[in-house]
Structure 1
Amino acid sequence: MDLHYVISGFAVGLLVGLTGVGGGSLMTPLLTLMFGVSPTVAVGTDLAFAAATKSAGTLAHRFRGTVRWDIVRHLCYGALPAALFTTLALKSFGALDQQIGQVIRYSIAGSVLLTVVALLFRSRMQAWVIAHPEKQLQGTALAVTTVIVGALLGTLVTISSIGAGAVGATILVLLYPRLSPAEIAGTDIAYAVPLTAIAAAGHWYLGSINWELLVTLLLGSVPGITIGSLAARAVPEKILRGLLATTLTGIAAKMVF
């Protein structure tokens, strides 16, 4: 067992617990840049990692009644077929091919930057939507848009393993600004479970999951998430998010250049 991976899992879990940012934004670039794991294997392993950790989170939110299952259903209508289609596309083009790996590397960088935007501007965007109720979608238009968003997130998550955390939560805030923060978190985690499970199964089919690596990451992340969640209230959120946004921007630049 490589202690470095356990420590990395703990560090990512700690930051996820403190900030609520999806682990993929941190774990996938970390595996690629620090440990030299190929982009495709990093994505596949992180998706399996996310499916395991988010399942526990969903159970907790279900117990608390903070999951909007109607929204989860519409997101899954788009996300799950998109994940399957994207997996088949990766298989067709050669997911372990070096050129495809480079495309995935750029996709990871783009997804990380989207996470940065979500971190920095989510509250402002939510305030604007609430202040302009005439801009809010309703009824069938809202349902169709949710399905389309699910499809886009399903594609993004399958390619880069990033998008079901901060990005997905920010989109939910914009589409459903009246949801409580707990409902946003619970709904975002709940729809991500079948999405990351299907995407992970696809990467298992492609042969791009390192199971030994996955186990060592989980050994570190579980206590990390627990400690981070308990300590979250003691650390100023603005400082944490600012540091995290700066770090993620640097990671995205490193992955591109």
Structure 2
Amino acid sequence: MLLTYIISGFAVGLLVGMTGVGGGSLMTPLLTLLFGVPPSVAVGTDLAFASITKTAGTFTHRLRDTIRWDIVRALCVGALPAAVLATLALKQFGALDKEIGQVIRYSIAGSVLLTVTALLFKPRMLAWINAKPSRQLHGRPLFIATVVSGAVLGVLVTVSSIGAGAIGATLLVMLYPRMSSAEVAGTDIAYAVPLTAIAAFGHWWLGSIDWNLLGALLVGSVPGIMIGSYGARAVPERFLRGLLAATLTGVAAKLIY
């Protein structure tokens, strides 16, 4: 079983390296559906996994100066308290209870579908905003919208471990359309580090992290991400994103039914 986890980590890492998205969206449903890991444990383990891998990514983007720290702070103002409150809610209602596990399962499915929407419609959303600059927010309204977006992501990530990647990046593009792709990626990864760390700590407190599983996933994913990053240019991005969207839609349907 340990070898299977390592191979699964490698496969997910490969896709993440090639597309830039899909870590939590694929890993959590994979653990739940394929390996029968309880939803709460799958979420907690994936959050610990994400906090470690995103920390390494943040160092890289910091060296390249592709992080907007002002936006990271605004997102964290909303995301971190929301993550703490969501953790307390899970504690109150019993994160490991069967009924709550079913709620988490549906939350995972909903977050996966939001990720699919972000993958498919981000270019159209961006075009719609750029068509009329008056639609773009500025000043205090922009700050408030960023904080609210962070709060929504904080709840989504804590409950389902999904949302910090594709959904977060899409919200950043919508709110800050003038940011470069590298800045969007760097900022999205940087704010996700404290968010996933706090959420993972909360799940550790709840007893919903499998440390052996976490180690196996890390062993497989690191080389997978590296190989996927090098091979990203060999496969058309449009094809990969379409394949990923179709896979995630099937995963969401399986989680619901």
Shorter-chain TM band: over 0.9
| Structure 1, gaps ≥5 residues long | none
TM-score, normalization by structure 1: 0.99
Q: Where do 4+ consecutive residues of structure 1 move more than 6 Å? A: none
Q: CA deviation at 1:211?
A: 0.2
Q: CA deviation at 1:124?
A: 1.1
Answering whether residue 81 of structure 2 is matched by residue 81 of structure 1, we say yes
The aligned counterpart of 1:130 is 130
1:1-257 to 2 correspondence within 5 Å?
2-257=2-257
Give the 3-state SS of the residue equivalent to 1:18 in structure 2: helix
Q: Deviations over 1:120-153 (max 9, x none)?
A: 0111111111111101000000001100110010
Q: CA deviation at 1:22?
A: 3.8
Q: Deviations over 1:41-87 (max 9, x none)?
A: 00000000000000000000000000000000000000000000100
Residues in 1 aligned to 2:78 and 2:61: alpha-carbon distance in whole angstroms: 22
Residues in 1 aligned to 2:143 and 2:22: alpha-carbon distance in whole angstroms: 24
Contact 1:28-1:42 at 8 Å conserved across structures: yes
Q: Deviations over 1:167-201 (max 9, x none)?
A: 00000000000000000000000000000000000
Give the 3-state SS of the residue equivalent to 1:96 in structure 2: coil
Residues in 1 aligned to 2:60 and 2:157: alpha-carbon distance in whole angstroms: 23
Give the 3-state SS of the residue equivalent to 1:216 in structure 2: helix
Contact 1:22-1:164 at 8 Å conserved across structures: no
Q: Residue type of the partner of 1:138? A: H
Residues in 1 aligned to 2:166 and 2:8: alpha-carbon distance in whole angstroms: 20
Contact 2:47-2:197 at 8 Å conserved across structures: yes
TM-score, normalization by structure 2: 0.99
Contact 1:16-1:225 at 8 Å conserved across structures: yes
Contact 2:11-2:221 at 8 Å conserved across structures: yes
Contact 2:75-2:151 at 8 Å conserved across structures: yes
Residues in 1 aligned to 2:126 and 2:60: alpha-carbon distance in whole angstroms: 26
Q: Residue type of the partner of 2:74? A: H
Residues in 2 aligned to 1:47 and 1:28: alpha-carbon distance in whole angstroms: 9
Residues in 1 aligned to 2:142 and 2:204: alpha-carbon distance in whole angstroms: 34
Q: How large is the RMSD of aligned CA atoms in angstroms?
A: 0.6
Deviates more, 1:123-132 or 1:141-150: 123-132
Q: 1:14 to 1:47 in 2, by over 3 A?
A: same
Contact 2:82-2:155 at 8 Å conserved across structures: yes
Contact 1:45-1:214 at 8 Å conserved across structures: yes
| Structure 2, gaps ≥5 residues long | none
Contact 2:15-2:22 at 8 Å conserved across structures: no
Residues in 2 aligned to 1:123 and 1:132: alpha-carbon distance in whole angstroms: 15
Q: Deviations over 1:24-53 (max 9, x none)?
A: 000000000000000000000000000000
Residues in 2 aligned to 1:10 and 1:171: alpha-carbon distance in whole angstroms: 28
Q: Residue type of the partner of 1:103? A: V
Residues in 2 aligned to 1:145 and 1:78: alpha-carbon distance in whole angstroms: 10
Residues matched between the structures, number: 257
